[in-house]
Structures are given as structure tokens and as C-alpha cells.
Amino acid sequence: MSKEDRHFFGILKTKIVETMKGSYPGINPDISEWKGQEITDFQEDLLGKVNAHVSEKWFYTHMKADRQSLPRIDVLNLLSRYAGYLNWDDFIFSNRENTTGRKPIPGANRYFYLVPLIALLIVAVLYGAFRLFNTREYCFRFYDSDTREPVKNMKIAVRLLPEGESPVDLVCDSTGAFRVRTDKSLVRMVVTSPYYQSDTIKRIIRKIDGEESISLHANDYALMIHYFSKVNVADWKTRREKLEEIIEDSAMICQVINDRRASGLELLTKQEFIDKLTVPSGSLKNLEVLDTRYRNNRISVLRFRVNMKNE
């Protein structure tokens, strides 16, 4: 009997004692010290639990003496079953973890564990390759729905809405375009611009050839105010009437101040704003609309700033 066999047979004896204690709590913990009634009790318990029998002579030969050979495999199997295992192999497999710190995988079980792992690895590699080869760069350009001209040199903010992910904020370049790399088939975005209406856009990008143009609808009132600030209009009375028409009486109008002398916000009433925009001196030259909000088709909130240099 090898050193390893002797070791595991010793563990089996300990397990047999533990099982016996379930029926006979006062049994001697050293199986080599059993005799007489203790052996008889073990024979009866063995018969009751696994329907097996060993003779008293066998017990003295194998359990009390330190023999150089293991009992027959059929006896080892029934003793292992008595101790709560399927058989001798299962006993060794279960208890080797306690002696080596890790549980080995016998030949048959090795494939049981390795095959799914290899399959998962292959799936992961294929999925990674699929994403790599299907990730492309797409370019989106914006144009004015009325003039059909590209929207250039205009601030256009794009918020991408990836499914199951946080939004991604982008800004178009001076040509009115932005680029995105993705392996998704659907792109959802919210487009905002001071001089164009906000819009939520969906595109199935597998159907486009790397580039697509998207129309934007002008924010007519914001463009009108911007135009009034840049162009000298002889008929200032008509200009005032138009501003009176498109702006609510209770509108909140904010001028954002950001220059070397001061910074902050200045609140203007509707009449103060119209006066500054229509007086001959043109105190709001080069006005840039930052944000507009509407109620009942009239401007209820207006945020703007005056650029120090001509655009």
C-alpha cells in the first residue's frame, strides 16, 4: 500500500468513526481500540445503512492492524458509502481538496469543466472580433431645411443616447458635422442649436454609406432677433412692432455679460430689450442668441450676449 493510499484509508477510518457517533455518541474515537461490543455495533450499523457485512476477523485484520495492502475495492466502496460517499473514487476526490488545498479534476470530469470554458472563450473571441470589424466611423452633417444649405459656423450640440449607457455630448465642427464610431445599428441623438429647433433624431446607420445629411428647421424668432442686431433697418417702427408681436410681455430676458470689465447676468424687461435693439445707436450690435423658450408661440425666455468683435 502506497503512502498516499495509507493516508486516505486513515481518513476513511476517521469518517467511519464520525458516522458511528451519529448512532453511538459514546463510541471510542480511536477505531484501532474498538473491540467486542463496539465491533458488533459497527457491524449492525453497517448492515442497517448500506446492507453490508464485514466479519470480526476482517475488522481486526484491516481496521486494527497496520497492513501493507488496502482492502478489496468492493469493501472500500461499501465503507465509503457508509461514510456518506458514492464510492471509493468519490471519497478520494472529495478529500483530496483537504490535503492539497485544491480539488483536482479527474479525466472524465476534466472535460466536463474544460469544454464549456473553451466554448465560452471561443464565443468571447468571436464576439470581440465581430464588434471590432463592425465598428465604423459615421459622419453626420446638418443643413437648413428651408435654404437646403449646410449649417456652417453655427453652434450645434449633439447628445447621443446609446441604449443602456449614459448620454454622450458632442459639438459639431465649423462645417456643421460630427463623427461617431459605433458598432450599433441604431443611433439616437438630441440636436440643439440657438438658431434651430431642437429635435430628437433616430438613424439606422447600417443603411447609410458612412455619411448622412440631416435637416434642421430654423428657429425663426431667434434668427430674426439676430438679424435685427446686425443689419441697419431704416423702418425701425416696423422692427419694434415685430418684436412686440413675438415676445411675451412678461418674458424673462437675460443678457450674459462676459468681458474683461465684468461678468454676470443683466435682466432686461421686454421694453428695455426692444429699446436697445431698435435705437439708432444700436447698443446691442452683434447679438448672439444663446437660448430661447416659447409659450403660446411667443418667446417667454431669451438668453443672449453681445460679442465684442464682428463675426
pLDDT tens track, the chain, 311 positions? 678 888 888 898 899 999 988 888 888 989 888 888 998 988 898 888 888 888 888 888 888 777 777 888 888 898 999 999 999 998 988 888 655 544 444 555 555 666 777 777 777 766 655 555 567 788 899 999 888 899 888 889 999 898 888 898 988 988 889 888 887 778 899 999 888 988 998 888 765 567 888 899 988 888 888 888 877 666 778 888 889 999 999 999 999 887 656 568 889 999 999 888 877 655 677 788 999 999 999 999 999 988 765 44
Say which CATH architecture domain 220-306 belongs to: Roll (3.10)
Q: Give the global pTM.
A: 0.48
Residue 137: the pLDDT is 82
Residue 234: the pLDDT is 63
Residues near 277 by beta carbon (within 8 Å), at least 6 away in sequence = 225, 228, 229, 239, 243, 284, 287
The bridge status of strand 186-193 relative to strand 136-144 is: unpaired
**CA-based nearest residue to 258, from 209, 207, 195, 306:** 306
Residue 280: the pLDDT is 62
Q: How far is CA 225 from the centre of its chain?
A: 45
SS3 content of the chain, % helix, strand, coil (to 5): 40, 25, 30
Cα dist. 248→70, 151, 296 in Å?
Answer: 101, 29, 9
User: What CATH class is the domain 135-216?
Assistant: mainly beta
Length of the chain: 311
Residue 60: DSSP 8-state = I
Q: Give the cell for residue 268.
A: 432686461
For the chain, count helices (H), then strands (E).
9, 11
> Are 277 and 260 contacting, i.e. CB atoms less than 8 angstroms apart?
no
- Domains of the chain, by residue range, sit at 3-100, 135-216, 220-306
Residue 247: the pLDDT is 94
Within 10 A of 79 (CB to CB), how many other CB atoms are there? 26
Residue 233: the pLDDT is 60
Element (H, E) at 239: helix 236-246
Domains 135-216 and 220-306 agree in fold: no
